[in-house]
Structure 1
Amino acid sequence: MQQVQLVNVRASLKGQGNDVYYLDDLNINVSPLQQWVLLGANGAGKSAVAAAIAGFAKIEQGQYENSFERIALVSPDSQKQLLAAELTKDQDDIIDGVTPSSTVYELIIAGRDEQQLDSDLLQQLISLFDFSDKLNKAFRDLSTGETRKLMLIKAIIGRPDLLVLDEPFDGLDVKAMAGLNQLLAELSKTTTLIFVLNRLTEIPDFVDHYAYVKEGHVTEQLAKPTAEQRDDLLKLLHLTHTQLQIPEADVDHQAPPLTDSMLVRLNNASVSYGGEAIFEKLNWQINQGEHWQLTGKNGSGKTCLLNLITGDNPQCYNNDIKVFGYQRGSGESIWQIKQHIGYISNALHMDYRVSITALNTVVSGFYDSIGLYQKATDKQLTIAKQWLALLGLSDKQSSSFSQLSFGDQRLLLIARAMVKHPNLLILDEPCLGLDEANRQRVLLLIEKICAAGTSTVVYVNHHASDKIAGIDNYLEMADFTKKAP
């Protein structure tokens, strides 16, 4: 009989760089067609436990048996590894003068005999994720959400016996989430599934086994729990809200005051790649105190639009854009713009690969740097420590950023974006990767920042349940994309 069994297992997993994460005394048994969800706080070790179950960890001691023949894992870490591999190709391209970066289709079928592919399933997935026009694109041209869709397609077409999905819904638009949920319900009839989820509302109805992970241990397991047993377990993840006080700003090192209430103005903006328009004829003005929510499906250009504002998209110089009193292309430096902006995004998280402490990660927000290359003032260190305390990370202030869990890293980058009380705070899917308690904490923080009035907020989000009180303005990217004939 196919099963995965771990008895008193000590295992190690390699993280970023040379970091190693250890699991001790791990015990769990997964049998065919059991559908599991692993729950726990950020940093509890959920992702590491899932990877160990799937066979992607080094077993140091104890008993590990895995008789599943075909196993697939989709996770933020595997997404990072794929991005890093393609980035290495891009760096090689510069040396060789050629561009062999993989296409989407090449990555989907990599390692498989094209003649033996289940073409019907592949077409179903392509339709589900609206990928028909992306198969011949270069991988590097995909958005973060589209990259997650690619990995899901690649995993599912292999028809695994055991499919491990670490936050599979994160970064997906509403339509894709609904379609994936329906597909997984169908797959659950023939496939053993293990989910790592932070959002309790995303637990599929067909899940019948619950495990609670704490400090790398599976501390509780429930098989086909009653509603009362399930609720008792989920109570472990709820946050008892406390009065949250936002730390003060560093008045000695603030951006110069603005004389105009208009922060950003885009006039008839457009972005295109390879002759294909991402969006066009977009007019948008952001005034101080007007908080905005930006919505749109994966690939609609949300992050692309935000990068026009920050200057991280070179097409900002081809457009009529005014930011913080500067007309784009008039000789302004990128630092004159970024001193007014706090920013968190999936791309920034993927790029933040330096091994500095959690404390210095927050401090780096004062200087808009990835890493810290200036000596922080005593006041800045005090403010950064207050942010760590607010987010429940005081005990990790000396820990290396690269050694922390994805969720704890996310919290640090949110604090980094907020720490200087920027004139414009851009939050591109800030809650991605956060457990229920920390998600509620961050949503409360954003509400308080909106109410304080010191920062104007632009918020990107796919989840209706993450609505922020105080955000009353909405920009829908579908209004600026070409409609299908």
Structure 2
Amino acid sequence: MDTQNSLDGIRLENLTVNFDEKFTLCNIDWTIEPSQHWVITGTNGSGKSALAAILAGVGEITSGKIEGVPKNIGLVSFEAQAELIANELKKDDADIMDVISLGTPVHEMIFTDCLDPELATELVEKFGLTSLMDRAFRKLSTGETRKVMLIRALSNKPDLLLLDEPFDGLDADTLAMLQAHLASIIETTPMIMVLNRFDEMPDFITHIAYMDKQGDSAGQLKYTVNRQDDVAYNELYQLLHLKTTDLDVPEMDESEKPPALDPSQPLVKLTDISIKYSDTVIVDKLNWTIEPGKHWQLSGPNGCGKTGILSLITGDHPQCYVNDIFVFGFQRGNGESIWQIKQYIGYVSTSLQWEYRVSTSCRNVIISGFFDSIGMYSRPSDKQKKIADEWLALLGMTDRADQPFNKLSYGDQRLLLIARAMVKHPPLLILDEPCLGLDDMNRQLVLALIEKICAGSETTVLYVNHHAEDKIKGIENYLAMTKNKG
């Protein structure tokens, strides 16, 4: 690792780092310019702290390179805090010492080798540690220990500050004081913070790095976003919100609930299904059963019959009456109406998004799902308005409730249409290529919402896409169709 005395820019290029063979950061590409202040955020276990620790020299680099890391780094983290405490406890080893160690006093921890004693003295007073200067460091509370580490880091004139959850455990007054002090040194001291909560992000932060999991023991730097890019920033906020929020899928309006289904019966049962046009066979003798609560992914190339199968289920295909189809308690062709079938289905597709061109608010788009309409032509109940607002909260879009749907980004429109399909908690939610036309960030947003639905509702999800390898947590059943060559 190359180091330097002042920060001219740090570059991580295709970097892979192992941490005690338990966790790996993979293929990290990241550039930190001198005038930038970063927050690293992401889901639990994604490697946020590990990414910051790399800059402090932690981990074994197995490939790639890192350049430009300064020598004088101020580090505050739970791991560094635990290491300091562990070193202090070692002094209690009575077998090799003739006297009982009282431990290193706080004033020694702060002022030994301190490069700015005047600032350290000022911070000791501001952090309320004056009366604890003679106490053993290891006798402090967790919050007091964190304050000592902050004072040490800030008063040693660091060329780079690495602060991992620096605001955890601080009371409101102390947090405000620390935020103000950090803001006062942004011209001279670049900062990189690890934060779980966006609402704690200081105003001076210029860029955000978003970490995501790659399996159970690996993480990856997924996105880097300039905070001034409002669109990218809002998308990242929504993604983190959907990935980490404790909000559950909103409840349904019981007054709109369709007749109950027999839970012992499958939602869909297709027996020896065939779809053909003249002499061309698209689907040949397909058997498929969808049980309640068993989420499915249906994948395959263009022309393999995915859309045709969906149309058989929804009753929109002309060949549904010449096939053996059982859906929602009805044997197709025995006098049921298409609306008796559709009341149990929520459907989202790109074609629906093309059709939904009316100028109505985001809230009303969701409410329209209660009436299966495009636009609003009925007066909603207070209950339905409340449920729509809960969906907006889940999506991180509360502040856009009254914005026109047709003014939103393509990705936000797709999220709202999924919420629209879900407001009635349909027994079956069909998502036909929901990521089609979306960039990677919006694709991640849609997949995160699908994960939320799979984990938190009684709705069975049928996710349709081109790629079998594009898996979603919570979906464990797969039907991979191939193009019929006959």
Max radius of gyration: which structure? Answer: 2
Provide the TM-score with structure 1 as the length reference. Answer: 0.49
Which protein, 1 or 2, shows the higher relative CO under an 8 Å CA cutoff with sep ≥ 6? 1
Provide the TM-score with structure 2 as the length reference. Answer: 0.49
